Structure 1
Amino acid sequence: MKQEKILNISVDCVVFGYDINTKSLNVLLIKRFLESPTKKEVLVDDYVLTGYHVYKNETLGDTASRVLKELTGLTNQYKKQFKAFGNPDRLLNPKDLIWIENEGFNPRTITIAYYFLLKTEDVDLKANKHKAKWFPVTDLPELGFDHEKIIAEAYEDLKVKCLSEPIIFKLLPDKFTINEVQDLYQSILGIEIDNRNFRRKLINKKYIIALDEKQVGVSKKPAQLYIFSMDVYRKMFQKNYLISI
């Protein structure tokens, strides 16, 4: 049965992915391309966030999860609704109007924005029908609609949340080194962190548990591996900063 969509309410998803090899926080974007059917003139050529209209029988969260699954094949990832965007002129740039007319969208659409956290390695882009591509959050291509603003606001929210909630561990392997945690914080916050001070603070957290294991397959001296225990964290958590930087 064909789903009935709400024509002026959509969900847009900012998919953040961390590449542990390049130490880069990235955003997953899809290609938006349109050319004139007669003259073969390029009318629209840029990138946008992935999103879609809300179906009448869905919650907003259901829509966001559906959009993520269609884009990446992934489910049960960290998800946060952070803002609604409804300025009357948010979709009225000339190239956006061309795209909207071609797709039959409503130019007065309100979007509810979510962001997801995942590891870039978990997404297979080779066969992605949306021509999705990772871009560093600090080096984005030309974007359509108001998606530059949406990404910027998601990124600011992530910076705050990563200091007060243990969400960064969604971006790391299950087993990680202290240096990998530091690299991730530096990538998100865009700052240099004192190594010794950070290490001391982190290993003193009871929910950061040292394993009787070290890195394998590295050219340098293998580092100690750790895991994050959500059970321990929940038992001892108080409303203060996860770690002060």
Structure 2
Amino acid sequence: MKLKKISNISVDCVVFGYDTLTKSLNVLLIKRYLESKTEADILVDDYVLTGYHVCENETLDDAATRVLKELTGLTNLYKKQFKAFGDPDRLMNEKDLIWIKHEQFNLRTITIAYYFLLKTEEVALEENKYQAKWFPIRNLPDLGFDHEKIILEAHEDLKTKCLHEPIIFELLPDKFTINEVQDLYQSILGIEIDNRNFRRKLIKKKYIIALDEKQIGISKKPAQLYMFSKDVYEKIFEKNYLIHI
């Protein structure tokens, strides 16, 4: 049975991915492209967040999970609903109006924004039907609708939350080095962190477990590997900063 969509309520998903090779926090965007039917003109050519209308008898969380799965094939990822966007003029850009007419969207659509955290290598983009592509958070392309605003507000929320909760480990391999944790924090926060001070603080955390393993397959001296123990964290953590930076 085909679900009936609610014409003026949607979800938009900011998918954050971290690339350990480039040390870049990225956002997954999809291509928005429309050519004129009568002339050889390109009417719309930019990128947007993935999103869709909420269907009747569907929760907001279920809608966001559905949209993410359609884009990436993934489920059970870290997910946070962080804000609703409903300004009357949020869809009034000239290109947006052309797109809305073509897609028959409601001009007064309110969107509920979520962000998800994953590792970039978890998403296969080669045959993605949405022409999805990763972009560094600090080098975004031309974006449609109010999606730049949504991304920047999601990023601000992530900056705050990563200092209070262990969500950064959603973006790292299961086994990681202290430098990789520092690189990720620097990428999210956009700041330089003192290496020695950061290392001293992190290895004191009982939920950061040193492994009897080192990096393999690298030319330089291999570094010690660690893992994050969610069980230990939940037992001892008090509602305070995960780490002071």
Answer whether TM exceeds 0.5 for this pair: yes
Structure 2 residues not aligned, in runs of 5+? none
What is aligned with 2:240?
240
What is aligned with 2:148?
148
CA distance in 2, matches of 1:103, 1:55: 17
Residues 147-226 of structure 1: matches in 2 within 5 Å? 147-226=147-226
Shift of 1:11: 0.0
CA distance in 2, matches of 1:20, 1:152: 21
1:135 partner SS: strand
Which TM-score applies when normalising by structure 1?
Answer: 0.99
Q: Are 1:80 and 2:80 matched, yes or no?
A: yes
1:3 partner SS: coil
Shift of 1:57: 1.5
Shift of 1:237: 1.0
Q: Are 1:63 and 2:63 matched, yes or no?
A: yes
1:241 partner SS: coil
Residues 26-65 of structure 1: matches in 2 within 5 Å? 26-65=26-65
Residues 127-138 of structure 1: matches in 2 within 5 Å? 127-138=127-138
Deviation string 1:207-241 (CA, Å, 9 cap, x unpaired) is 00000001110110111100000000000111110
Quote the sequence identity (%): 80
Shift of 1:40: 2.3
CA distance in 2, matches of 1:88, 1:226: 49
CA distance in 2, matches of 1:38, 1:125: 32
2:202 partner SS: helix
- Name the amino acid aligned to 1:97: L
Structure 1 residues not aligned, in runs of 5+? none
CA distance in 2, matches of 1:200, 1:219: 25
CA distance in 2, matches of 1:40, 1:232: 61
2:159 partner SS: helix
What is aligned with 2:100?
100
- Name the amino acid aligned to 1:192: E
CA distance in 2, matches of 1:50, 1:60: 15
Deviation string 1:141-198 (CA, Å, 9 cap, x unpaired) is 0000000000000000000000000000000000000000000000000011000000
What is aligned with 1:231?
231
- Name the amino acid aligned to 1:50: T
Residues 4-23 of structure 1: matches in 2 within 5 Å? 4-23=4-23
How many residues get paired? 245
CA distance in 2, matches of 1:6, 1:237: 41
2:111 partner SS: strand
What is aligned with 1:109?
109
1:141 partner SS: coil
- Name the amino acid aligned to 1:236: I
Shift of 1:38: 1.1
